[in-house]
Each structure stands twice: as structure tokens, then as C-alpha cells.
Structure 1
Amino acid sequence: MRRTIKASLAAGVALLIMGSQALAETIKVWSRQTDESAVILKNLTDAFTAKTGIQVETYNTGMDFEQRLARAAAGRDLPDIVVNDDSALGQMLKMGIIQQIDPAKIEGSDQVVPAAWESAKGADGKFYAVPVSAQAFALFVRKDWREKLGLPQPKTWDDLRKLAEAFTKNDPDGNGKADTFGMTIPASTVRGYASWFMSNFIWEAGGDYLKQENGGFKPDLANKAGADALGFVRSLFCEGLVQPGAINATTGDALPTFRSGQTGIFLTGPYHIAQLDEQPGKNVIEVLPPPAGPGGVAALAEGTSAYIMAGTKHREAAEKFISFFISPQGQEIGMAEGSGHTPLVRLPINKNVDVNAIRKDPRWETFKEVFDKHSHYVPPVPNWTPIRMATAEGFNKILSNCNADIPAELKKIDETVAAELTKQKALAE
């Protein structure tokens, strides 16, 4: 009887231990994705659970993610991992809700392409995220229009201007009406779109937003490169070579103008391939590297990163999940090729994953080549968001006024950015 009681107690203790272990082996992953990507995230977490036994609870939204994250932080109910834009690093670090990452503790981190790691650094040079997806900008061009007008693929800014002018003035769709335009441009100040778009041209001009100086950053737009970039893009506006309403357009507003055949050139990311294949059609568009400016070819690099959140009690499990995500198996699941769903992984960040072998689409290889050779991430300041917004306001003002003194306006933008940098430095101290 005594042995039976002891055995029962032992079994009960074992069950309690097993139960606590099971709880310890469940992690929460939140992702800033639309419902279109939810099934891909589920496929990824199911495969991870099958491999490790660690359960995963997921949550995703593309609408009010930042607000929900802030509420979770206030309620001390953060998830273990957040999958979010790499540009969110500074804001989340400022909120104090992410932990520093030691790449050496992430299995497979040596397989991540070096360019992608640049997006995971804070202003202090330390890592606070692990990149899981990358992307860069390239040109979508109406190939049928270009060939009809007998023009070459644009290699330089001058080529781009000539193509935009021909698409605007030479009736490329052959309907006998003056109803087409060259460039699709989202120049709205909403969420900083004007700055987001202009960054490509600033780097192509050989310029940058900031320069590092004495261990910090200093504004660097008020110079010849900055003036060249704003002057070139403003000329497209002033000559009527962009879609109507471009000055107030977000990407969501601008996309339909290219899809409907109103415009013939669209500088954007690979996430629009599927939509543009539907309309205007895969057979009439081509994807080309961005044209070279005075400083060469350059493109905005963006991506998605995985962040380990403050307060997690499952750090080791979180690191295992991230290791799986960046592995060839995790990257291929995230790429969602052939699924009909929006991928979590656009360009793979694992150097052992061949995008061509999976996508079987040379346009993706073009995006990868642009990322590998010509990509630029925004400067790693403590918080890029207010700088993006301030520069967007200034750029929008220049683009909307054909008589604006560009050097003088850029000087004002630099002064605003300098004040923001001073503020961020004071907060950091």
C-alpha cells in the first residue's frame, strides 16, 4: 500500500514536471503581416513544432500592429518574438521592448548574407534583431510600350527621363488619346512615403541623409548630390511626366495607375509582382535594375527581422525558432512559392538558398542582384521614423513647387533633422 502511494505521488510529481515543461515549451510569435500571409506563418510554425516539439501561438495583423504592441508592453504581456519591419528596430529599442542579440547563439547565423545583417544593427553597432527576409527596389516597365516606341531599357537618369517623356507624349497604348504618363510616384507625406521613394535617387546621386561624424550622425542633404536628386525628380513633376495626384499619393494610391495602364514605369519592390502579373499582365512588363545617377546604381533595401522581446521566459526556445526561420527549410517555407499567398520571405537572406531554383522567375533574380550589389539601408540612428517623416515633409514641399529654392529648402530640412538627432542623443543619455 505504501509503495502504491509512493508510486502515485511520484507519478503525480512527474505529471506536474511534464506539465510545467510543456508550458515552458510554448512560445508566442506576433507578426506584422496581413491575413494573406497568416497561412504561411502557420506552415512555418507547424514545421518548427514538428522538428522541435516546441508549440507556437501566433498572432498577425497588418493594420494596427504598433498600437497593439504598445498596449502589450504597457500591460507587460509581450510575446516572445515579434516579426516586424527592420525599420522598426529604432522605435522598439526606444520603447525598451527588445533584447540584444548575440549572433553566435543563433544557429545558422553565419549563413545570413552580410548585407542583411546591416539592417539588424542599432546606432551603437550592436545587434537587436535577426534578418529573416530582404528586398530591394527595381523598375517595373511596360515592355510592350517601350518596344513599340523603339526605346532602349533605361540605364541612366537621362534614359529614364526620355522613356517617361515618350510614355507621356507619344501615345504608347495606341488609343489616340493623351491619357498616359511616364512615372508612377508615391510622394505623399503619409507614413513618410516621399522620403521612402526619394531615398533611391539620393543614393543614386551619390548622396545620403546623414554622415557619421565623431561617433554620431550629422545631416547631409544640403549639398550637390541632394540638390541633384531632388532636382531630377522635381523635373518629372514639373514636366507632367508623373501620374495625376502623385504629390499626395501613397503606394496604395499609386499602384492602380500602373496596373490600369495609366503609367508605364513603377519603381517598387518585389511584393508587387503577383498583382502586376494579373494586371496589366506578366507578358507586358519587365523588371530592370534602377537607372544609374551621378553616383551610380543604388536602391533602397528593406526587409523583415525577428526580434526577441523583453521579459521573455523562453529565450532559448525563441532562439531556436529564429534559427529555424533562417535555415534553408524555414526560408523556403516562408517564400511560399506556388501557394498563391503573400510570402513571408521575399528575397532569402540565407546564402545557401537559390532564389532562382525556388522562384523559377528571372525577375526575382534581378531583385536579388540589385540587393546584393546596390542596396542601401537607411542610416542606423536610434529612431528613423521621425527623420523619415521630417524629410518626407521637406521633399514633398520641394516636389510640389517648381519654383522652390532646392538648396535653401534642403538646408531647412537638415536643420530640422539636426534638431531631431540632438533630441535623440539627449534621450539616449
Structure 2
Amino acid sequence: MNRPSLSNPWRRLRPALLAALAALAPPMAQAQQDVVRVWTRSWADGRKTYDTIAAAFTAKTGIRVEYFNATTDFEQRVSRAAAGGELPDLIINDSGSTGQFVQMGLLAPLDRATVPGGADLHERAWEGAKGFDGKTYGVPTSAQANVLFIRKDWRTRLKLPVPTTWAELEKLAVAFKTQDPDGNGKADTYGFALPGSAQRGYTAWFMSSFIWQGGGEFMRAVAPGQFKATADEAGTIAGVNFVRRLQCELKVTQPGAMTAATTEANKAFISGQAGIYLSGPYHISLFDREPGRDRIEVVPAPAGPGGRAVLAGGEVAYFPKAGKNKAGAMKFVEFLISPEGQTLGMKSTSGGLSVVRLPVNKKIDAAQVHADPRWQIVAQEYAQHGRTQPAVPNWTRMQQLVAEGLNATLSRCGSDVATEMKRLNTRINQELATQKALAKP
């Protein structure tokens, strides 16, 4: 006997039921537009500030932000994501990564006229988003320039002036090592916190300011988009000789300086092991906590024989070609570069560190927002003495090569600096030739 079929009613009802479910659930494409995935190269304290920005952005637009943050291995994570087809909608990283990202094929040129609020940004900040070909590949979100941090309590106890020249800086560093500036009766202090590790190019990053102060540079532009190495010139050698004297002859740098990344150099300054540190203004709020605001001072870097100069840079928001929510990413950037977004990024709320150091928006005054005159010093250094790294096709790779050469020169105390720098000069020219060949269409 045949049993009645139960499937026939289901088959009749199924289309109507599926249609009703589809009406209740948002389409996948719409769901993707409600979330923007943002990767930032930032520490946990910086992430707290980014979370504050995200909350305000979501409240204003309804678009959620999914963050991922990392530090020392950030570029490697980006490379793996690119290989696996898992790139986010937006990457916020140092402006020095522009060339590398372009060379990896992650980015397409950006028309500045399509960026809402882009006309309000400083022209100098836009320069950090340009590749070697002069095209723009992202939107600047923050600017900065290095400054000198000094243990003010140590300096005043020893009755020494704020250093304005290399000679005065050397004298202060020696005094911090030899004259018991913390008054504990022990020979346990050093003059200079040196992040000398070649990891992620730190040696080159740190040495840039001293090389420029010496009157030198790593390379010089000889034509648009073309460079020649200048590491063997007198000004560059002078800068390297000055720091190596601190490291090798005077021995005023902290123990383990040549393997220290910025994390270790930070600890040397925070703990009271070293009393002078050339670094970025993002450390102001960190050092205000420890050793304490009343114990530190922020001053301009001293002049060398080539004058005054400090490393300047910033962060850029990059839009990967593979990003799925380009409209959401642009809306987030529009908010981040607006006066509201820039102010939130500077205020270091929720116990976080500022992720906007100097504003890129011309409508914002850094010293007023920070309510701290020290930020005016940072702004003046950026405007008057800030220098940026050359826009070679891949500065990330070049910086690593230069860092390895400088690390070796500073570590081998018995070697001849001029000979070492001549060897590095050859390697820089070889890398420039390689990058030029790779950059050809």
C-alpha cells in the first residue's frame, strides 16, 4: 500500500519560507558594509585609544570597527595576510612602509580629491603618503618629530645646563654615568639610552638624526626618483663617530645597547638606568607615568656640526586593493582625520597612549589639545628641523640593510669607521640599483 507523501506540502511551502527568511536577515554584502576591518601597528596602550575612536565612529555612523594590532612583527603579518588573501580594509602604519606596500602590489594610487576632508590636511603630512614615483598611496593620520628626553632631577642635582650642542650632550652623558645623579651612592647609572638593535631597522631609525646633525645623510637624490649613496661622506662619518664614541670610548650607553630594541631602551630610561633618550613624542605620556612628569623634561635635540635636525615622520592609512569594504574604510579615515577624530587620538583617553601625536588637520593646535607646552616643542621641531627618510622604492628594506651596517660599525669598537662606512656605501648603491630595476613597469 502506498503511503501518502509528506514532501509535497514542504515543497510547496519552501520558496515562501526562504523568501521570508531572506527578508529578515541582511544580505552578506550588506553585513560586510556594516563592519570595517582595521589593522594598526600599535602597542596595547595605543589600542585603547583606537578603541575610543572606534566607539565614537560607530556611534556616528553605525559601522563597527574590528581592530587587529601588533608591533615588531606587524609587516610580516601583513605579508602573510596578503599571501593568504586575508588583508583588512585599512592598514595604519609608519609612513616608511609606503614603498614596501607598493612593491608588494597591495596598493593603488589614491586621488587626494576623493578623500573627504583631505583639503584640511597639512601639505607636509601628505608628503609622507607619497611613493618614489610621486603618486599618493594613502592618507596621513598623524605626524611627529623626535625630541630629547632628559632626567631633569638628575641634571638639576648636578647643576648642568640643558644641552644644545654635541659637546654639551656628551658632557651631560658622562656626568650621568660618573657623578651619581640619583644620589644612591652606587655606580649604577648611564648617560644615554641607545636602541642599537638592527631589528626592524632600529639602528638606522635612531642614527638618522645624528647623521643629519653631522651634516651627512644615507643617500642623496640626484634626479626625480633617483638616488646615490652618501654613507662614506664626511658628515655621515661624523654622526657615526659621535655615537660610537658614546658607546665605545666613553661607555655611557646602557648595557646591552647594541641588541636593545626600543622596548629595552624605554625600560632603561623608565627604570632610571639611563638619563638621556632621543625618541618620539608618543613616549611623553608614558614617561609622565614613570619616572614621572616632575622628573623628566622634553627639549629639542642638540645641534651637531651640520646644524639641528631630527627624524620626522608619521602614520598613514593605506587602503589595500583587496579590501572588501572600501566605502567603510574611507568613512573611518574621514572620521580619523576630522577635528573630532584627531582630538580623540591625541587625548590618550581610557589610559591609552596618543595615536595622533601632531595633528595632520590644519584646524587643530597640538599644544592646545594636549594642554601641554611640551607639544609645542615637538611641533616646532617638526616644522623647523624635521627631516624625513628618502622616498626610495622600498625604504623598509633599505632601512634594514643600513641598520645592519650601522649596528656592526657601532659594535666593532676597534674598526675604522671610514672603512666601515665605505663598505656600507657600496651595499646601499647595490640595493638602490636592485630597487630601481624592480620598480620598472
TM-score of the alignment, normalized to the shorter chain, above 0.5? yes
Alignment of 1:231-246 (within 5 A): 231-237=241-247, 238-246=249-257
- Cα–Cα, structure 1 residues 31 and 177, in superposed 2: closer, same or farther, change >3 Å? closer
TM-score by length of 2: 0.89
Using the alignment, how far apart are the partners of 1:203 and 1:417 within structure 2?
A: 17
1:366 is matched with which residue?
377
3-state DSSP of counterpart to 2:143: strand
Gaps of at least 5 residues in structure 1 are: 1-7
Q: Give 1:20 deviation, angstroms.
A: 4.7
Aligned to 1:127: 136
> Which position in structure 1 is the counterpart of 2:196?
187
C-alpha distance in 1 between matches for 2:414 and 2:155? 32
CA distance in 2, matches of 1:24, 1:174: 60
Tell me what 1:343 maps to: 354
Aligned pair count reads 423
Are residues 1:414 and 2:398 paired? no
Whether the aligned pair in 2 keeps the contact of 1:106 and 1:320 (CA below 8 Å) is no
Cα pair distance change 1:75/1:425, threshold 3 Å = same
| Alignment-derived partner of residue 114 in structure 2 | 105
Alignment of 1:240-319 (within 5 A): 240-319=251-330
1:427 maps to 438
Distance 1:68 1:395, change over 3 A: closer
1:3-402 equivalent positions in 2, closer than 5 A? 20-21=29-30, 23-62=32-71, 64-215=73-224, 216-237=226-247, 238-402=249-413
- Whether the 8 Å CA contact 2:42–2:70 is kept in 1: the answer is yes
Question: 1:392 and 1:162 mapped to 2: Cα distance?
Answer: 27
Look up the equivalent residue of 1:385 and give its one-letter code. T
Whole-angstrom CA distance in 2 between matches of 1:236 and 1:423: 35
Range that drifts further, 135-144 or 16-25: 16-25
- Which letter does structure 1 place at the counterpart of 2:39? W
Paired with 1:284 and 1:17, the residues of 2 have a C-alpha distance of 56
Q: Give every structure 1 segment of 4 or more consecutive aligned residues whose post-TM-superposition deviation is greater than 6 Å.
A: 8-19
* Cα displacement (A) at 1:59: 2.7
Secondary structure of 1:120's aligned partner: coil
Q: In structure 2, do the counterparts of structure 1 residues 71 and 263 end up closer, same or farther at CA, with 3 Å as the change threshold? A: closer
Q: Tell me what 2:8 maps to.
A: none
**Secondary structure, in 3 states, of the residue corresponding to 1:77?**
coil
> Secondary structure at the residue paired with 2:276?
strand
Q: 1:53-80: CA deviations, max 9, x gaps? A: 4443333333543333223222323222
The unaligned stretches of length 5 or more in structure 2 are 1-16
Secondary structure of 2:128's counterpart equals helix
Select between 72-81 and 297-306 the one with higher mean Cα deviation.
72-81
CA distance in 2, matches of 1:315, 1:302: 26
Q: Partners in 1 of 2:183 and 2:65 — Cα distance?
A: 55
Please list the CA deviations of residues 378-397 of structure 1 after superposition, one character each: whole Å capped at 9, or x if unmatched: 11111112221222222122
TM-score normalised according to structure 1 size: 0.91
> Residues 279 and 53 of structure 1: is their aligned pair in 2 closer, same or farther, counting only changes over 3 Å?
closer
Q: Is the 8 A contact 1:118 1:377 kept in 2?
A: no
Deviation of the 1:203 alpha carbon: 1.1
CA distance, structure 2, for counterparts of residue 145 and residue 16 of structure 1: 65
State how far apart, in whole Å, the 2-side matches of 1:77 and 1:34 are: 22
Partner of 1:4: none
Residue 288 (structure 1) shift = 0.4
Instruction: Pick the structure with greater CA Rg.
Output: 2
Q: Distance in 2 between matches of 1:349 and 1:117?
A: 9
User: Aligned in 2, Cα 1:9/1:398: closer, same or farther, shift over 3 Å?
Assistant: closer
Q: Secondary structure at the match of 1:303?
A: strand
Write the deviation string for residues 275-333 of structure 1: whole angstroms up to 9, x where unpaired: 32232221111100000112221111132110011133543433222121111011112
- CA distance in 2 between counterparts of 1:317 and 1:330 reads 15
The two structures, once aligned, show a CA RMSD in angstroms of 2.5
**Does the CA-based 8 Å contact 1:290-1:299 persist in structure 2?**
yes
Structure 1: distance between partners of 2:64 and 2:264: 40
- Name the SS for the 2:65 alignment partner: strand
Conservation of the 8 A alpha-carbon contact between 1:99 and 1:307: no
Inter-partner Cα distance in structure 2 for 1:77 and 1:427? 25
Against the structure 1 CA distance between its residues 261 and 13, is the aligned structure 2 distance closer, same or farther, given a 3 Å change threshold?
A: closer
Three-state SS of the structure 2 residue aligned to 1:379 is coil
Q: Deviations over 1:32-60 (max 9, x none)?
A: 22333334323323322333344433333
